[in-house]
Amino acid sequence: MNLNIKTGYKMAMPLLMLMMFGCALDTLDEKPPHLITTNTLYTSLAGFETGLNGLYGLVRQEREGSEGATLPYTSNPNALRVELAMNGTDNMCTNVADRFSIVASLWGERNSPGNVQITSNFIWLYTTVNAANTIINQAERGKNNDWTGGGGNSETNKNRVIAEAKALRAWAYRHLTYGWGDVPLNLEESLGSTIKTDWERAPVAVVRKQIISDLAFAEKHIPVEPAVRGKISRGAVQHYLSEMYLVMNKPDSALYWANQVINNPAYKIKTARYGKNANAPGVAFMDMFQDGNSNREEGNTEALWVWQFANGIGGGVNIMRRWHMSQYDLITIGGVRPLKLTVERGGRGVSRFTLTKWAIDLYEPQDERGSNFAIRKFFTLNNAAANAPWPADLLPPGYAYGDMIKMNWSQPITPTFNSRADWPYSRKFDGTDPANPSGSSSFNDQVYLRLAETYLLKAEAQLLLGSAAGAAETINVLRRRAHASEVDASKIDIDFILDERSRELVLEEHRRYTLLRTGKWLERTKLHNLNGGQFITERDKLYPIPKSVIDANLTKKMTQNPGFL
C-alpha cells in the first residue's frame, strides 16, 4: 500500500462532491482562506496532486462498490460496480442473486432505465469525467499556477498532471461507450454557470476518437514507473491504446502499441515463484495476487497498474473477494457445516456472480491457471492448530481431519439449480482482514492491469493481420508459464483467443466488453451461460440510458437505446 495517493482522497472528495453538483464557488467575491474551492486548490502542484488523489479514489470505486444512493460516489460494500462489466457473460454467471446479479440472470424487464445499479454506474462515471475535466481545465488555463516541486521541472509537472487526468477521463469514457454506446461527450468542468439541460449523445466513434486523443497525450507524459504507487503507468496507457485500435478495426496500430508495452524491458511476465510465500506450495501464476506481492516494488514486473487499498486510513476497501467467493461456510454434509471462516481460506463470500461450468472446465489438467491454487476446488478439514487462531472445523459423520471436502461443478448453474455453496471460485482476490475473516471488505492492493493481457491483445492483432503463427507464439508465452501444452497456428481463431483470455484473465478482464467488441457476446453467452444466457437479446448489448438522466435533460430530448422505453 502507499499512503500518498490515499490520504489525499479524504481532502479531495468533499471538493469533488461540490463539483458534481456544479456549485459556482469561483463566482463568490469572498474567499475565506480556509475554504477549499477550485480557485484555492488548483494553484500549486500540491493542490493538483490532491485533486488527482480524489480522482483516483473515484476510479477505484470500480472495485469498492456502491449502493447507488443519492450520492453515487459514496462507496458502499453492497454492490460491486465492475459486475456490470463482468457478469452475464460466457465465463461468469449469477449464483446467489441480488442487485445487478438479478439483472444478469433474468435480463428482460430487469435490464431497465430505472435500475439502481445501472443508474449509479452511469452517474459515477460522469462524476469521474467531471473531476478529470476540472483538473485538465484548471491546469491548462491557469495563468499563475505554481508547478514547482515534485522532482520535475514546471513544464514536466504540468504535463504529467494533465496526462494523468486525461488518461483517467479516457478510462471513464471507455466504460461509458462499451456500456451505453452513444453518450454525451463533455470536456468542460461543470460549474453553476455552465449547467446544461440540453445534452446530446455523441456517436461512439466520436467519443472513441477523443479517448484516443487523451491516451495519446497521456502516453507522452506519464512515466513508465510512476513515482507514487497506484498511479497509472505509461504501459497501461499504451495497453489501452492497443485495445482502442482493435475496437476501431485498426489492428496494425493495435499491434504497434501492444509491442510498445511488451518490448519495454521494464515489463516482464513473471515465470518463476517470488516474494511472500515463494517457498510455500503454490504456482508462479498466482504469486502476483498475494498480498505483499502485487506492486512493482514488491517484484511484480508484470503489473501495469496496481490499485491501492488500506484498512483504516481513508484509502478505500474492495469487495472483489466477497462478491465472487462461494459461501463455503454454508456447505452442509450430514447435517454439519464443517468449514470455518479463516484468513487462509480468504474470508467470507456471498457469491453474487461466479464462474460458469464452462469456464472451470476450460483448462488442461496440468494448466496451473486451473489448479486448486488458482481456482478453489477443494478444502482440507483442519484441526484447531491448523485453523488457529480460529476454531477447528467440525467433522461430518465419517470424516477426519486432513480429509478433503470437494467442490461440486458436475452440473451447471441454472435458474433452478443455483445458490451453490460448494461451487469452485477464482482465488485471485482471496484476502480478508486478519482480525476479522467474516468481514465484508478486503484491503489488499490488487493488480488491475497486467502484461499478460497485452500479449493477448497482440495475439488478436496478429490474427487480424493474417499471422496465425505469430499469434500462436505470442499466446504460447503465457501457456508456457502455466505449463499448458503449446498451440500452433492451426488452432488459432478468435474463439481460441477468447478462450485463452478466459483461462488467463477470468475475474480480471472486463469480459463483457471483450465479447462485445469482438461481436461474440450474444453467441458465447447463450452457449456457455445457462443462468441468464438463455434470456439475452440483441437490445441487451447496451444498457439503457438511466431514466433520471433523460428526465433531467429538460430542454432537449435525449434518445433512449433501442428496445428500451
Rounded-to-integer distance, Cα 562 and Cα 558, Å: 13
Cα→Cα distances 45→50, 68, 160, Å: 9, 33, 11
Do 37-200+519-554 and 223-303+445-508 have matching folds?
Answer: yes
Preceding peptide of 338 cis, ω within 30°: no
How many other CB atoms are there within 10 angstroms of residue 14's CB atom? 11
The CATH-assigned architecture of domain 37-200+519-554 is: Alpha Horseshoe (1.25)
d(CA 101, CA 96): 8
> Please, where are the H alpha helices in 431-520?
451-464, 468-482, 494-505, 511-517
Cα–Cα separations (whole angstroms), residue 175 to 171, 346, 375, 410: 7, 29, 28, 35
Q: Where are the chain's structural domains?
A: 37-200+519-554, 223-303+445-508, 309-431
DSSP state at residue 556: S
Give the ranges where 284-347 is alpha helix by DSSP (H).
284-287, 320-324
Let me know how long the chain is. Answer: 565
Q: How many beta carbons lie within 10 A of that of residue 216, not counting itself?
A: 14
Cell numbers that stand for 81 in this block:
460496480
> Residue 471 phi/psi, 5° resolution?
-65, -40
- On whether the CB atoms of residues 408 and 359 are closer than 8 A, the answer is no
Per the rule left: phi > 0, alpha: psi between -120 and 50, beta: everything else, 404 is beta
Round to whole Å and give the CA distance between 83 and 104.
Answer: 9
Question: Which among 363, 484, 516 is positioned nearest to 426, based on CA atoms?
Answer: 363
The single-letter DSSP state of residue 394 is: P
pLDDT 10s digit of each residue in the chain, 565 long? 443 454 444 434 334 333 433 332 232 233 445 567 888 899 999 999 999 999 999 999 999 876 433 444 344 557 899 999 999 999 999 999 999 999 999 999 999 999 999 999 999 999 999 999 999 999 999 999 999 998 889 999 999 999 999 999 999 999 999 999 999 999 999 887 678 899 999 999 999 999 999 999 999 999 999 999 999 999 999 999 999 999 999 999 999 999 999 999 999 999 999 999 999 999 999 999 999 999 999 999 999 999 999 887 565 788 999 999 999 999 999 999 999 999 999 999 999 999 999 999 999 999 999 999 999 999 999 999 999 999 999 999 999 999 999 999 999 999 999 999 999 999 999 988 888 888 888 889 999 999 999 999 999 999 999 999 999 999 999 999 999 999 999 999 999 999 999 999 999 999 999 999 999 999 999 999 999 999 999 999 999 999 999 999 999 999 999 999 9
pTM reported for the whole predicted model: 0.93
Write out the three cell numbers for 299: 517484484
Architecture of domain 223-303+445-508: Alpha Horseshoe (1.25)
The closest of 258, 290, 257 to 274, measured between CA atoms, is 290
Q: Mapping DSSP to helix (H, G, I), strand (E, B) and coil, where does residue 406 land?
A: strand
CA–CA separation, 43 and 33 (whole Å): 13
